[in-house]
Structure 1
């Protein structure tokens, strides 16, 4: 990439980008070379940005991980992105989701100055059964950055919409929601709606309404406890009005980044990106290749239609 392109990507003046590159090379912090594998990642980034209408995309090389989710690769890339976000000092409040990928991102971060930014968890989920508890994610962020960090002290889903209205009227939760509204950038994971996906193991659903039932209704992705079909359209489920999180439509107009990857997340990522809610993506090379092969342009065209069959 040219220095101008690098400056534009990181939102800094070209002269500053030139100085930083020169200093890094002089100090031996970086080596400048051509690497075929990384070149492939850069090409995938460009294709994903074009195909899904993204303003920013990072594709990280595979690190040979054997698990269903490349947590190390995604964690390192997410941590690097978050540190860059803090360096820019353009956001006073940063909204953070939770889950295994978000936890890996925070784990990979070194101690880092927040520069006055605050963090807020934008989704409930404070239960003993919940994997990658949001308290752990937000608490570790506060420890590593010294920033103020706020947790939504509530389950992901409450019993009824009326329960949600009562809880949201409480002073503490109302203040958290105001903080969430002030978040100009959000970093989220994507939930896979299938029996092997991360959502299936979270133990957050009603006993009578399984993930299998949601999938039969057309759900392919879960974002902030809300469900999208294969073309990125919101669908109605028995959980409507019960999730302790902002409405997905309220995210439009903000910077919203997805950090997700792995074979079990590909279909969910396609659905989430086709929604048009996300402005940026951090993913791994293998997942990026799958997303490009079934591209976003086709999904955006389909999304304009008023009706259509869901993916099988």
Structure 2
């Protein structure tokens, strides 16, 4: 063996096995013969490729039941875009279930010839969307964050996605260099008075396309789990009727932003209801259904990527 034929790593073998199975259409016996391993090892390598995200599989056929749900949601809420993916069943991760569909929506905008400003929220669903994206050249577009990317301990917010997408598509990107939530309204105002921050805010406000996650404000609120709000603050906002948040901004069951709690200290740009351009929510999970429904009612979002279980829950309510 020479320097041009190195010993393959376990990840190399798994990637090759996954490629042969999902793209090449080979059986596990054929993969075993091709790689010179046992059938059991070939099976484990294919499973590893999927588990580690080395292979991404997309469903190209739009299942009829999901299309019916898309039409029902579109009719109910007057949506400009709607994609409903098949759920992964009990115990399945809703984020994984919608990641490929969400990636397809973003890629659709990135393939457009006209230069766009694309504003992005953060969160687990948005992170899943980025991980499922295919690399492409899209340097004619600009990507801008809607929400601060500084966590309470001073670190970069783990679920910020602007820089991750920019790496994949080679597009100019504009992070929002302020805390997600500042300690006081005065500190938040001081950050927003900085000229570089003002320029990013202005870019975000005139974005041609908005893509955001939708968070619930129940006891498992992402803002609480990730350390951006305290238990006492969450209790206060729940008492005021909080059911959901978009880009860190909290709203009630009618989709009206509240003037309490962290909304007085949230960094970044609020997505205003009734935008005349796409504002697409990327969210799934029955615990999020009340928040998604509220954001749809007030048209904080006018488009949605979700799964069939969440869609049915929203429509039933």
Runs of 4+ residues deviating >4 angstroms: 30-33, 128-132
Measure the CA separation in 2 of the matches of 1:47 and 1:250. 21
1:249-295 Cα offsets, whole Å, 9 max, x none, are 2772231000000122111111111112212100001101111112x
The answer on 1:194 being equivalent to 2:181 is no
Aligned to 1:222: 245
Per-residue CA distance 1:290-310 (angstroms, 9 max, x = gap): 11112xxxxxxxxxxxxxxxx
1:156 maps to which residue? Answer: 180
User: Which protein has greater RCO, CA pairs closer than 8 Å, 6+ apart?
Assistant: 1
Distance in structure 2 (CA, Å) of the matches to 1:196 and 1:277 = 22
1:182 corresponds to which residue?
A: 206
Q: Structure 1 residue 53: deviation in Å?
A: 1.6
Shift of 1:159: 2.3
**CA deviation profile, 1:194-232 (whole Å, cap 9, x unmatched):** 112323212011x47332331121000111222211121
Q: 1:172 to 1:134 in 2, by over 3 A?
A: farther
Task: Pick from 44, 51, 71 the counterpart of residue 76 of structure 2.
Answer: 51
- Alpha-carbon RMSD: 2.4
Count of aligned pairs? 259
Q: 2:227: which partner in 1?
A: 203
Query: Structure 1 residue 168: deviation in Å?
Result: 1.2
- Aligned position for 2:195: 171
- How far off is 1:131 after superposition? 9.4
- Between the aligned partners of 2:270 and 2:97, the Cα distance in structure 1 is 30
- Separation in structure 1 between the aligned mates of residue 310 and residue 113 of structure 2, nearest angstrom: 30
The match for 1:84 is 108
Number of the residue aligned with 1:257: 280
Specify every segment of 5 or more residues in structure 1 that has no aligned partner in the other structure, as ranges: 1-29, 295-312
Residue 182 of structure 1 deviates from its aligned partner by: 2.8
Tell me, in whole angstroms, the C-alpha distance in 1 between the residues paired with 2:139 and 2:251.
35
Instruction: With the length of structure 1 as denominator, give the TM-score of the two structures.
Output: 0.76
Closer/same/farther in 2, CA of residues 31 and 230 from structure 1, 3 Å limit: closer
Q: Give me the whole-angstrom Cα distance separating, in 1, the residues matched to 2:192 and 2:179.
A: 12
CA distance in 2, matches of 1:31, 1:110: 15
Deviation of the 1:63 alpha carbon:
3.0
Counterpart for residue 10 of structure 2 = none
What TM-score comes out, normalization by structure 2 length? 0.75
1:1-312 equivalent positions in 2, closer than 5 A: 38-64=63-89, 66-67=91-92, 69-114=93-138, 116-127=140-151, 133-135=158-160, 137-205=161-229, 207=230, 209-249=232-272, 252-294=275-317
CA 1:173–1:44: 2 relative to 1, 3 Å = same
Structure with max Cα Rg: 2
State whether residues 151 and 157 of structure 2, in contact with CA within 8 Å, keep that contact through their aligned partners in structure 1.
no
- Measure, in 1, the Cα distance between the counterparts of 2:205 and 2:240: 30
Show structure 2 runs of 5+ residues with no match. Answer: 1-57
DSSP 3-state at the match of 2:171 = coil
